[in-house]
Structure 1
């Protein structure tokens, strides 16, 4: 069902929900900006978020008067979509999230997220007649994207891996590991975690040098992201007696455990489509050695990696994002 359809210049902005094949009564929330004259031949870009911020990360204005990333893509002639996996944002919450997180194991791993994406792609194929898609995966979303490209190569035309992770013992992930055995998850990790306002941008804050974060990012954009994340779990949050908070699935922690121990979750040599790797120079999650290894193992000859100065893991939503966006759209437009 298409909802909240609003005309903006020559674009149509909307949102819709796709039924989940993994959860009875479950659904996946999708943000969408398409050219007004879109047709079945209009190329589609699917944006996949990371472990914390849901699809709002692709739909904020990085500076006053500037478009969002989805709007920018629509201006360039793409039908742009951003997905929130189940458990995130306005998508449905898995049943386990209505119980205590303990002693349940982490839920919503990369293969669950990949199936959510596949549900959306099949829906768009039926609705739009699109045969294949350009995929842009951010952070943990790069794992979802890479595994999609290997499991369903017929659906993926080109691949952008932004702030990606692949197979590296990144020391910044030590907190999720068992301090006595890095091959095990921290025993305090349940099926989901509760996030407070100050936790949302903690990692982002830490990567931006200096005390004035506004030189790198737009404060209203950060406020929009924070408010939208709370709105995605509003009913549960209103029932809590603690300070404002919301829930996020922890399945990604099991994925990170594998990545940390250099057991990649997909075989990069099976990625045959054109691939672009992008990372910010201040990104502590996407390690340069990990990305060099990923680039080397990709099974396509059409591959490239770019590192952007003065950019973090969240470069897609920072003031310098336009340069990043230009590289992405030029890559997708190239024959």
Structure 2
């Protein structure tokens, strides 16, 4: 069963898009069987988490196992409200949608789900930048979080970021074309493994769905996807400058770190540095997956990711 809705934020005129999938016969809701997902720095949630590949999306995989699953597009992404600055040229304004703003959007989505389902807590799942946001939210709102899953976790950077904002002063948003998206995806994959990484048609299915979420960008030549630059500003001010964005010792819930070996966006050293800092997580896990990139959720080995995350979530349901 699928439902879509727009959730009001505290800021006038800004609404965020949420989508829900759950078994059709599900009538009672529990914290340990409720999951909210948020995306990364550039692309929206539904075109990856709920992209049907080989007949099934990750969102559907989790829902089919008895879960009430939600996804969220932060403002400026996907089907959520685009801030007014995105109607102007990028250089006309400074970076928009910083982590502080994004965490507020997550708070609005969490409160919406908790109220709608009449439950006190839920599981959080973040990908890439979303791991920083979900972890930050958890440090501030531990009582509302059951378990925390950080897929491709970001931490203090020792290598250059693959998110390119171009030369000159950082504008409100950046523009990414399909070719750049593909190049970034394959970064770090050994030459002899590239051809087998993504099954035929899957990249195009993702790109078609993703670029279609930005009609303004899609009308440009070549078509682009516009993405807010608040995350780039934060990255320069914190992880890129050797400073943590949040305090991992304030995470007091069971936490899973999971990534793939060829990830060049959030390389393995990030999760390895972060893991020992989770000193107050009562149950922390670290899973490294073979033969995958930052986007392993849409690659040949995606079931390895699904299974690792599912095992961690399912433990929460055991008496």
Distance 1:31 1:201, change over 3 A: farther
Match of 2:242 among 246, 262, 265: 262
Match of 1:87 in 2: 76
Question: Shift in Å at residue 334 of structure 1?
Answer: 0.6
Distance in 2 between residues matched to 1:246 and 1:204, nearest whole Å = 15
What is the total number of aligned residue pairs between the two structures? 311
Match of 1:253 in 2: 232
Q: Confirm or deny that 1:289 pairs with 2:269.
A: yes
Match of 1:271 among 220, 242, 251: 251
After superposition, where does 1:154-303 map in structure 2 within 5 Å?
A: 154-172=143-161, 187-210=168-191, 213=194, 215-235=196-216, 237-238=218-219, 240=220, 242-257=221-236, 258-298=238-278, 299-303=280-284
Distance 1:150 1:317, change over 3 A: same
Match of 2:118 among 111, 129, 132: 129
Distance in 2 between residues matched to 1:253 and 1:86, nearest whole Å = 16
Distance in 2 between residues matched to 1:25 and 1:224, nearest whole Å = 32
Q: Residues 7 and 15 of structure 2 are in contact (CA less than 8 Å); yes or no, is this contact kept in structure 1?
A: yes
Deviates more, 1:208-217 or 1:69-78: 208-217
Per-residue CA deviations over 1:129-177 (Å, capped at 9, x if unaligned) read 1221111110000000100100111111101111111223323459669
Distance in 1 between residues matched to 2:62 and 2:309, nearest whole Å = 9
Question: Shift in Å at residue 213 of structure 1?
Answer: 4.3
Distance 1:197 1:171, change over 3 A: closer
Q: CA RMSD in A?
A: 2.0
Match of 2:18 among 19, 26, 30: 30
Question: Shift in Å at residue 59 of structure 1?
Answer: 1.1
Distance in 2 between residues matched to 1:154 and 1:40, nearest whole Å = 21
Question: Shift in Å at residue 45 of structure 1?
Answer: 0.8
Q: Residues 19 and 28 of structure 1 are in contact (CA less than 8 Å); yes or no, is this contact kept in structure 2?
A: yes
Q: Residues 40 and 130 of structure 1 are in contact (CA less than 8 Å); yes or no, is this contact kept in structure 2?
A: no
Per-residue CA deviations over 1:254-302 (Å, capped at 9, x if unaligned) read 1211102121111000001000100100011223332122111112131
- The TM-score, its normalising length taken from structure 2, stands at 0.91
Distance in 2 between residues matched to 1:35 and 1:214, nearest whole Å = 36
Superposition misfits of 4+ residues, deviation over 4 angstroms? 173-177, 211-214
Q: Which runs of 5+ in 2 are unaligned?
A: none
- The TM-score, its normalising length taken from structure 1, stands at 0.87
Distance in 1 between residues matched to 2:135 and 2:228, nearest whole Å = 20
Match of 2:34 in 1: 44
Task: Tell me which protein shows more strand as a share of its residues.
Answer: 1
Q: Describe the SS at the equivalent of 1:283.
A: coil
